[in-house]
């Protein structure tokens, strides 16, 4: 019906060839008496300049380079002729470059927050400060389903941005976006909060965006959305634009959600999800009528999983969750995003509407027992395999293998359980990750496949 693209705003390096700087010429002709009008008709003029001077040094440009491995698409039938190491498995490595933005959130330790899609697949991440200093950055951890990544640089005299409490935002509050659109250099745009708790864009798994009309464009990704006090309220992530440019509809990940994820990445090197154990849907007007409920927002619970945090807290199907930790929940997607980013073992207060009455319920989130991890982050030869922890630490299960991937070529199959690497035993994902991060030229995986024990060698 409508042609609308939702665009992630990492810009692919474009060289700006001719940018004539005529501003300098214009300056020389300014009359010496020309002064900034501090007041018009007795009314002082507002300006964001003083607050920006304090904040902008904390927003950095990020440039990445790497190679994307693209497989030659040879149909399965023909692969027979070339064998497993023949033409069919040849890969094309295509170099790519990208640009984005980032925010320094800890000056002492050099932590830089950005979007996962800015640094995804990058081999080299370069951070450039506003003053022109460049540093190579280390990736501390990233979370694909919320599109957050944490980098670290080693540098002195950095400026950091403080986190604001993004749960206190209201529609209509002023916003300032700071970033590096189109690789132009640091750019500041202003607007207001257009909407809160925006979900359903199908960009990420966990969506709970702040919507703003401050101009966000290609290259702004990972940059800061700040309030009038210069505190971070969000990480600019995406825009909706019919022709690829800004039309006043931009999306940012709320600061509180980003902060929760950062704390987990710092602590564990990865994001761990807390699980409530409910399935449900949006509360519609029809549903509200059918259940004779006097609320028009919230997450309607269809089902409560056995032995889950929700069951222990006494939730039942038919309940409507209207708040988490006293923050209004507008939709089921928003509930998912909130719960999914809080982390395991967190005690939370849920506002529940049951039989027309709102009651508070306390629940403790359980760790996700089937933690899934993309193995390509662990070892290049494992690209294409999705790993999952097993119950009772009995190894790491390969829950999915993409056909024609590196992992498939290495002879791994879905359902295999990795129980050892070289001479060391593997009990869970964390152990496997640690072992794989050691720089071994060759890895021998000890695999259990049904009754069989096998070795697969990775190069």
Catalytic (active-site) positions: 117, 147, 221
Least Cβ distance, residue 58 to other proteins (angstroms): 18
φ/ψ of residue 391, rounded to 5: -65, 145
Near other proteins by CB under 8 A: residue from 1, 19, 41, 290: 1
Q: Any contact of residue 50 with other proteins (CB under 8 A)?
A: yes
Contact 157, 133 (CB under 8 A): no
Distance CA 142, CA 112 (A): 12
Least Cβ distance, residue 213 to other proteins (angstroms): 4
Give every CB contact of residue 400 below 8 A, 6+ residues apart in sequence.
385, 386, 414
Range list of β-strands (E), 213-364: 224-226, 232-241, 250-254, 274-275, 278-282, 299-304, 320-324, 327-328, 347-354, 357-364
Near other proteins by CB under 8 A: residue from 240, 252, 397, 421: 240
- Residue whose structure tokens are 């909060």: 193
Q: Which residue lies nearer to other proteins by CB, 284 or 303?
A: 284
Q: Any contact of residue 291 with other proteins (CB under 8 A)?
A: no
Q: Which residue lies nearer to other proteins by CB, 211 or 259?
A: 211
Each residue 302-341 as x (binds other proteins by CB under 8 A) or -, in order, gives ----------------------------------------
| Count of chain residues binding other proteins (CB under 8 A) | 40
Q: Which residue lies nearer to other proteins by CB, 54 or 70?
A: 54
Tell me the C-alpha to C-alpha distance, in Å, between residue 10 and each of 14, 43, 149: 11, 41, 14
Q: Any contact of residue 229 with other proteins (CB under 8 A)?
A: yes
Which of 324, 331, 327 is closest to 297 using CA atoms? 331
Near other proteins by CB under 8 A: residue from 134, 173, 231, 374: 173
Ramachandran area for residue 260 (φ above 0: left; ψ -120 to 50: alpha; else beta) = alpha
Least Cβ distance, residue 61 to other proteins (angstroms): 24
CA angle 74, 67, 246 (to 5 degrees): 105
Q: Any contact of residue 51 with other proteins (CB under 8 A)?
A: yes
The β-bridge relationship of strands 278-282 and 274-275 is unpaired
Least Cβ distance, residue 435 to other proteins (angstroms): 46
Distance CA 231, CA 51 (A): 10
Q: Any contact of residue 228 with other proteins (CB under 8 A)?
A: yes
Least Cβ distance, residue 83 to other proteins (angstroms): 50
Give every CB contact of residue 441 below 8 A, 6+ residues apart in sequence.
459
- What stretch of H or E contains 212? strand 209-212
Least Cβ distance, residue 284 to other proteins (angstroms): 8
Mark the segment that binds other proteins (CB under 8 A) among 57-65, 170-178, 318-326, 446-454. 170-178
CA dihedral 406, 410, 415, 420 (to 10 degrees): -120
Q: Any contact of residue 379 with other proteins (CB under 8 A)?
A: no
Q: Any contact of residue 23 with other proteins (CB under 8 A)?
A: no
Q: Which residue lies nearer to other proteins by CB, 85 or 294?
A: 294
- What stretch of H or E contains 79? helix 76-82
Q: Any contact of residue 37 with other proteins (CB under 8 A)?
A: no
Distance CA 348, CA 331 (A): 18
3 state DSSP class of 26: helix
- 174-193 binders of other proteins (CB under 8 A): 174, 191-193
Q: Which residue lies nearer to other proteins by CB, 151 or 320?
A: 320
Q: Which residue lies nearer to other proteins by CB, 47 or 414?
A: 47
Near other proteins by CB under 8 A: residue from 61, 115, 194, 405: 194
Residues that bind other proteins (CB under 8 A): 1-2, 4, 43-51, 170-174, 191-195, 198, 211, 213, 228-229, 240, 242-243, 245-249, 284-285, 288, 296-297
């Amino acid at each position: 019906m409508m042609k609308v693209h939702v665009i992630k705003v990492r810009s692919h390096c474009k060289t700006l060839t001719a940018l004539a700087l005529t501003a300098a010429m214009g300056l020389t002709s300014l009359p010496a008496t020309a002064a900034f009008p501090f007041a018009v008709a007795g009314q002082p003029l507002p300006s964001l300049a003083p607050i920006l001077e304090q904040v902008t040094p904390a927003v950095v440009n990020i440039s990445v380079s790497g190679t994307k491995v693209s497989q030659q698409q040879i149909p399965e039938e023909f692969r027979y002729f070339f064998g497993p190491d023949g033409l069919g498995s040849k890969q094309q490595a295509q170099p790519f470059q990208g640009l984005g933005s980032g925010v320094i959130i800890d000056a002492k330790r050099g932590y830089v927050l950005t979007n996962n899609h800015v640094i995804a697949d990058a081999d080299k991440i370069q951070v450039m400060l506003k003053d022109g200093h460049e540093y190579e950055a280390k990736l501390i951890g990233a979370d694909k389903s919320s599109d957050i990544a944490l980098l670290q640089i080693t540098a002195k005299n950095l400026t950091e941005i403080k986190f604001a409490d993004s749960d206190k935002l209201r529609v209509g509050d002023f916003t300032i976006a700071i970033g590096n659109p189109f690789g132009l250099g640091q750019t500041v745009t202003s607007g207001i909060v257009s909407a809160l708790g925006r979900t359903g864009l199908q960009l990420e798994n966990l969506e709970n965006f702040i919507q703003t009309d401050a101009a966000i464009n290609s290259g702004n990704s990972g940059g800061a959305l700040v309030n009038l006090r210069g505190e971070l309220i969000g990480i600019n992530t995406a825009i909706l634009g019919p022709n690829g440019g800004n039309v006043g509809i931009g999306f940012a990940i709320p600061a509180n959600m980003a902060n929760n994820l950062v704390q987990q990445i710092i602590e564990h090197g990865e994001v761990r999800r807390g699980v409530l154990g409910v399935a449900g849907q949006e509360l519609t007007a029809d549903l509200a009528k059918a259940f004779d409920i006097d609320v028009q927002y919230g997450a309607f619970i269809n089902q409560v999983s056995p032995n889950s945090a929700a069951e222990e807290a006494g939730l039942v199907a038919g309940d409507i969750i209207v708040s988490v930790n006293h923050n209004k929940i507008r939709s089921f997607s928003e509930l998912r995003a909130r719960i999914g980013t809080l982390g395991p073992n967190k005690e939370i207060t849920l506002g529940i509407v049951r039989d027309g009455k709102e009651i508070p319920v306390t629940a403790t989130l359980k760790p996700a027992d089937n933690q899934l991890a993309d193995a390509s982050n662990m070892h290049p030869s494992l690209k294409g395999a999705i790993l999952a922890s097993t119950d009772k630490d009995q190894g790491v299960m390969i829950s999915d293998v993409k056909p024609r991937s590196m992992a498939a070529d290495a002879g791994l199959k879905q359902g295999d359980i990795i129980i050892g690497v070289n001479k060391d035993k593997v009990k869970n994902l964390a152990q496997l990750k640690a072992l794989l991060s050691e720089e071994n030229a060759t890895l021998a995986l000890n695999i259990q496949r049904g009754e069989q024990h096998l070795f697969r060698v990775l190069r």
